[in-house]
Amino acid sequence: MPKHIYRAVSVEDVDREELIKRVRAEKRVVFGCDAAKESWRGALMTPSCEVVCILSWDLQQSHRVLDLLAALRGAGVEVQVVAEPTGTYADAFAFQVRQAGLDMYMVSPKHTHDYAEIYDGVPSQHDSKDAVVVAKVHLERRKPTRWPALSEEQRELRARCAHVDWLKQEYQRDQGRTEALLARHWPELTRELDLDGASLPGLLAEFGSAQAVAAEPDRACQLLGKLSRDLLGKHKLGRVLETAKHSLGQPPTGSERQLLQELGRRMQDSRRQLRDAERAVMQVARDLPAMKLMRDCIGPMTTAIFLAFIGDPRQFSSARTLFKLLGLNLRERSSGKFKGQLKISKRGNSVVRRWLYLAALRLIKDDQIVRAWVDHKAQRSGGMKMKAIIALMRKLVSALRHVANGSPFDSAKLFDVERLKRVRALPANFHAASAA
């Protein structure tokens, strides 16, 4: 293929009349775009896959591109604009395309990456070639995918859910940092107080070290009582003070103590912000029909995030489609006599997948049937519990379609209780009503 096919022309230098004359006989053209932060490329391609021209423009020149495409449509040519959902770079242009009354479509970056070498025999990728390949892949597809146009309500819910997810991740990172420092300076504390509770961060924010607590035990007891709302018993308080007096940890320096105090304050602030953000999500999501049906299965917050980023499960024809959207579809890499292991693709929404994982952990903790099934499957997998948890996530996704249609979530229907009894994962006298 000749190299000059990828030569781009600035949108300022395009002869509009000549371009319209070249494509007037076509019923439609595809304008494949390579999205970028500043410098864009767009390839105009006919249904016969002939590249008419490749345009280059800066973001500030987008209006000129849209005027050109509108002129083509005015000449009786159907114009389909296509781009990859590369981060958020293409969202503003897609909005302008829809505002101009043009059809906006999307293609998968994975598809264009794989097709790059097939198209011209060269594995390299660059802006102009990518624009051409985007248009080509769109023409090859039997069912083109329209660019999603979210309603204001969906965007509001998605933004609030994203805020919760960011706060949750930051909170978990601070927990990890705190746990690591406590392992050095006060390793016994996490055995007595939960990292996810209010007492441990508050105690660290005020005192910062075991030595400071041991020096003022009465004030520490008063503070713990206030933080726990007097739910910590005398024995628990006594054990905390005992660990402070006889800690095996390395006494922190002044700066190390300040760091622990800062982490305690950060965790307190994060907990407060996270609670406020979750309330804001519930204000938007609580009246959604699917929320009331799905919350008993995966919890209210996970349900809200699922509805925000994936949508109502009832709109999908099969669980397999949901698996792909979540990156939970299985793939195998095999060659000749070698048969590889099945693993999830992870080519889906990582936010929803992460929250589904947390929902699965909660279900394992709270539901005896689920816990027995996961333990038995992990044992059959050679002790690999993560595989069993992923299998549980897939089962939950399959169940969501039925739950959203009005069937109450029941783990006894999702798992074969009688079989679990036969393999002794559950007691022989177990009754499903006592599962939770």
| Residues 396-419 pLDDT 10s | 999 999 999 888 888 988 898 999
156-184 mean pLDDT = 96
Using alpha carbons, list the distances in angstroms from residue 15 to 20, 55, 129: 9, 12, 22
What is the bridge-based pairing of β-strands 39-45 and 28-34?
antiparallel
Q: How confident is the model at residue 333 (pLDDT cuts 50, 70, 90)?
A: low
Per-residue burial over 78-110, b = 16 or more CB atoms within 10 Å of its CB, e = otherwise: ebbbbbbbbeebbeebbebbeebebbbbbbeee
Domains and CATH numbers, the chain: 3-146 (3.30.420), 154-283 (1.10.287.4070), 292-434 (no CATH)
248-255 mean pLDDT = 96
Cβ atoms of residues 71 and 16 within 8 Å: yes
Collect all residues with Cβ–Cβ distance below 8 Å to 1 and sequence separation of at least 6. 120, 121
Q: What is the pLDDT of residue 436?
A: 47
Tokens of 120: 């011209």
Q: What is the pLDDT of residue 399?
A: 92
Query: Of 151 and 272, which is predicted with more confidence?
Result: 272
Collect all residues with Cβ–Cβ distance below 8 Å to 33 and sequence separation of at least 6. 40, 41, 42, 81, 82, 83, 90, 93, 131, 134
Cβ atoms of residues 393 and 402 within 8 Å: no
State the chain's mean pLDDT as an integer.
90
379-397 mean pLDDT = 91
374-387 mean pLDDT = 88
Nearest to 221 by CA among 232, 206, 205, 237: 237
- How far is Cα 326 from Cα 308, in angstroms, rounded to an integer? 13
Q: What is the pLDDT of residue 433?
A: 61
Cβ atoms of residues 392 and 363 within 8 Å: yes
Q: How confident is the model at residue 230 (pLDDT cuts 50, 70, 90)?
A: confident
Q: How confident is the model at residue 298 (pLDDT cuts 50, 70, 90)?
A: very high
Q: What is the pLDDT of residue 434?
A: 52
